[in-house]
Amino acid sequence: MNTLHLKLEQQLEFIYQDVDEVKDYRALASSLMAAMGLYEGPHGETGPHEPVAFQNHWSEQDVVLITYGDSLVQQRANQEEEIPPGECLLQQKPLITLKRFLDDYCQDVVNSVHILPFYPYSSDDGFAVINYSAVNESLGGWNDINAISEDYRVMADLVINHCSSRSVWFDNFIKGEGPGHDFFFTCDPSEDVSQVVRPRTSPLLRETQTADGIKHVWCTFSHDQVDFDFRNPKVLLEFVWIIRLYLDNGVKIFRMDAVAFLWKKVATSCLNLEETHEIVRLLRTLIEHAQPDAVIITETNIPNRENLAYFGNANEAHCVYNFSLPPLLVNTLITGSCKHLKQWMMSMPPAQQGTAYFNFIASHDGIGLRPAEGLLSEKELNVMISTMQSFGGRVSMRALDNGKNKPYEINIALVDALQGTTEGPDRWGIARFVCAHSIMFALEGIPGLYIHSLLGTHNDYEKLKHTNHNRSINRHRWDYQALQQQLAEETSDHHKVFNELKNLLAIRTKQAAFHPNATQFTLHLGDQLFGFWRQSIDRSQSIFCIYNISNEEQILNLSEVNLIDLDEWRDLITGDYLQNISGQLAMSPYQVLWISNK
């Protein structure tokens, strides 16, 4: 028996120890290995690869663009060209348009792309998956995913907690027979579910008429998103087959969506249970043996301490979303004080080798508020919420166990969120917006850049009105020709934002001190000047990243930065050398300095 098989058996025993129906861990481990394409060699080898522990699968050159498959829509230039079967007469397949945009506009600064759920779906803009094995025909096909993966690392969503109520699996659940008929978690409504933590306000249980009578199906998110029952090992095995399919089609990064809710136990919170953590570890074990450079990112929009637990001991997620960064950074820039951002930075443990933070400040969802719990006071959160509402944002709620609702996230385009301060809009919007990204680009971790931030896209009120879903406000769909015109027009805000962010990324990807695992220390320069120091892993390069996060000029005393006089120091952004490392610099509102000795 090889070591991988034994490890899988031990993991399975932990996961299913309280499930009486699952006891043959050896057979289940063999099935999982077969599904992943791993063999059991006679001398303990596991094939096709042996993973190396604590190995970084990223560098300072890694930047992930986050986008829907149809965030860009291109009309056909030649209406007489031959149309492939099943393709719209007037529209190019959006995945082809996306590849063209990446090649024409992002090739030098982006090497990875997170294509949000590109499968057939019924709701939630892709997160209610009907068929995990297919690409949505309106977007393209697996050949288009493969074409993108030839030049960029592709991140795909593993929507592992739930699927669509319109899937074949759920149809079979209703009929009581066929594949998937036993895949879903049900609960007697008399059971105590008062402790269950949820991000929504809809009823937890969905009453469903089936061939076996009325059943109450668990729905963490919506009644169109029915939760899987991982107590049934066939569900786990099915997802291993799905992972293998994605690997075979060029996917190298797996975003485990809503994974914190995976395992359910009545009379508990059903959040971050130990079985959930062990399933992530088991999937990590299988994936890294099949594809050593593949990466798992857990999407756990929860308080900071619980989020960090998904690193495990570098044996669980390779990366965790830095969910506290968006609300703290927005708070910093609208209040003109970095007090809370500094406190949080100093509390964050360095990611050990083989793990990294995934930094982002805007996404297809919104600015999560749960990750700010314990970091910002209720009063400060309320000020931020009211400011965002005054800038056109919306607020989504979640249900509490006392029957009341509480703000869960703010839905707003980031360029609109940073159009002003708590005092109202001002003329520093773009500078403030660029400053926010320059902070994110320089922090320890891998930057994830939402396409609508890169393009400076504003709130989409038309889409919000059409869908009546708050998150639609930041899910605009660009006509590609119109976008090209905006990017070419030098007076356009979209042109200004795109070029400033692209220039910053071009600098970032050349600095060893911006490696995701390079050393980071927080500087203490007062509340209006935010700063931190990065040092490359080989200690050859230091970069002092300093930001005026206020709307007034601030004086930087370079003597407080402690620059070593044996080195020559220059600002990477302007290229200017510092003439007096003990002198003073006047920093204009939202000015950025990346002071490097190389």
Q: Three-state DSSP class for 347?
A: helix
As given in the structure block, the two tokens for residue 316 are 């669980």
Which residues have C-beta within 8 Å of that of residue 555, sequence separation ≥ 6?
584, 585, 586, 587
Whose CA is closest to 459, among 441, 481, 474, 478? 474
Which residues have C-beta within 8 Å of that of residue 523, sequence separation ≥ 6?
531, 532, 533, 544, 546, 560, 561
CA–CA separation, 518 vs 502, rounded Å?
Answer: 22
Which residues have C-beta within 8 Å of that of residue 146, sequence separation ≥ 6?
249, 250
CA–CA separation, 414 vs 388, rounded Å?
Answer: 10
Whose CA is closest to 422, among 496, 502, 348, 330? 330
Q: Three-state DSSP class for 390?
A: helix
Partnered with residue 88 across adjacent β-strands are: none
Residue type for position 45:
E
Which residues have C-beta within 8 Å of that of residue 31, sequence separation ≥ 6?
237
Backbone angles phi, psi at 568, to 5 degrees: -95, 135
CB 184 within 8 A of CB 149: no
Task: Determine the length of the chain.
Answer: 598
Per the annotation, the verdict on 24 as an active-site residue is: no
Active-site choice (257, 365, 416, 527): 257
CA–CA separation, 225 vs 204, rounded Å?
Answer: 11
CA–CA separation, 152 vs 146, rounded Å?
Answer: 10
Beta strands in 49-135 (DSSP E): 64-67, 72-73, 112-115
Beta strands in 325-366 (DSSP E): 356-359
- The residues that are catalytic are 257
